Every structure is written in C-alpha cells, then in structure tokens.
Amino acid sequence: MTISSTLRPRGVLSEETIYTVGDFVQRVVVGLLEGGYRGKFLCSPCLIKLTRDHLDKSYSLVEVGWAMNEVFKGPGAITLLPSAVCALCARKKPVPCLGVPLP
C-alpha cells in the first residue's frame, strides 16, 4: 500500500492537507454565523444556499446539503436549536437551526 501515496492527485502532500467538503462547509458556516449572521439562527436550506454562494462553483447543492447534514449532527462550537424559527426564511413551523448566540 506504500505506492498509493505517490499516486495522490497533484498538490496533495499528506493526509493532513486533505480537506473534505464537510470541512469547507463547516468553516463557511462558522464564518457566516460568527460574522454577518451573528445572533441569528438559520435553518438548513438557508445555510446550504448561503454556504454554496461562498464555495467554489464545483460543489453541487447535493454535496453541500450532505455536508450540512453532518454539521447539524455535530455542530461543534455552533449552537444547534432543535426547534427554532429561521431568521431568514421565517417558516411558520419551527425547524432545527444553527447559530451563534450574542453574548
């Protein structure tokens, strides 16, 4: 299995440098929620749309959606509200939303 390391795609040096779609999505989500959307809680479809606008166009909505699913499962430093009204689309029905509360 040693040969596989020499066959990696160009520019990839080691396991540590490989970022998955999930890593990028998580980073963009944190950036959004700690930045312009601080104190607001957003639902998954809104976050998917916003995140996709910040990512390379080569990522499909399906990929971003899948990654967003993972972020909702393990939001890390972000707060997950299992039942909230999204600040952007303001759906009538409370849905799971992610956000960073104001101090």
Q: Closest CB to Zn ion among 8 and 38? A: 38
- Angstrom distance (rounded) from CA 55 to CA 19: 13
Nearer to Zn ion, 90 or 102 (CB): 90
Q: How many other CB atoms are found less than 10 A from the CB of residue 89?
A: 12
Question: CB of residue 62 vs Zn ion: minimum separation in angstroms?
Answer: 18
Minimum Å distance from CB 49 to Zn ion?
9
Nearer to Zn ion (CB atom), residue 13 or residue 90 = 90
User: Measured between alpha carbons, how far is 53 from 59 in angstroms, rounded to an integer?
Assistant: 10
Residue type (1 letter), 32: L
CB of 74 to Zn ion, least distance (A): 20
Q: Please, what is the minimum distance in Å from the beta carbon of residue 68 to Zn ion?
A: 12
Q: How far apart are CA 16 and CA 59, in angstroms?
A: 21
- Whichever of 7 and 90 has its CB closer to Zn ion, that residue is 90
**Contact residues for Zn ion (CB under 5 A)?**
43, 46, 86, 88-89
Main-chain dihedrals φ then ψ at residue 9, nearest 5 degrees: -60, 155
